[in-house]
Amino acid sequence: MAAWTFSTPVVGIYSIVRHYPSIFKALSPHYIFLFFSRNGKEGWLLLGGTILSITGSEAMFADIGHFNKSSIQMAFFFTIYPSLVLTYAGQTAYLIKNPDDFKDGFYKFIPNAVYWPIFIISTLAAIVASQSLISATFSVIKQSVVLDYFPRVKVVHTSPNNEGEVYSPEVNYILMILCVAVIFIFGDGNIANAFGMVN
């Protein structure tokens, strides 16, 4: 995750300098008012796609069972937030100059010289993030069972030293069934927009 957190903003900075150095004016809040005044009701629907860019925050705060609040806040403000701003600003700068590449903006904005290393790092980061979300689900279910908000399921403590490391076979099967169902229902990348709208 550290490799992804520090490599993608470097690519973002390169893209900003190369394609659109004044991209940071987009951070001004008045642009959201202009956006809604121009797009009206459709603007709210378009906003669903942007929500996808912040959905990792709920997974990060689900990790409070593993880390304390201040360490998560410091990690967010000093590493994650600047990394995401630079990465998304770099993608946006690229897309301003290459609007036809909007369907695959992340991989298109990466220069050819570093494409494969970034591709591998991004794939590994996605695997780690998925595992983190699964672990957070187990932790939330464990706490829900303790509070009688969820039916009793088997909870296995996988570490003798860390109370927060838990696994539930039943929840694992439920997650698998839901993932397979989502794949069959959506069948393609359209799930990203649905995920953004739900959050």
Mean pLDDT computed over 24-41: 89
What is the structure's pLDDT at 177? 95
Domain count, the chain: 1
The residue range of the domain holding 151 is 2-198
What is the structure's pLDDT at 72? 78
Task: Please write the tens of the pLDDT for every residue from 68-101.
Answer: 778 878 888 899 889 989 998 999 999 999 999 9
CA distances from 73 to 4, 24, 64 (A): 19, 23, 10
Which of 148, 23, 176, 150 has its CA nearest to residue 86?
23
Higher pLDDT, 133 or 4: 4
Determine which of 52-66, 135-149, 172-186 has the lowest per-residue pLDDT on average. 52-66
Q: Is the pLDDT of residue 102 over 90?
A: no
What is the structure's pLDDT at 42? 87
Helices in 69-114 by DSSP H: which ranges?
Answer: 69-75, 81-97, 105-108
Predicted TM-score (pTM) of the model is: 0.72
Phi/psi class of residue 84: alpha, beta or left (left: φ > 0; alpha: ψ in -120 to 50)? alpha
> How many other C-beta atoms can be found within 10 angstroms of the C-beta atom of residue 49?
13
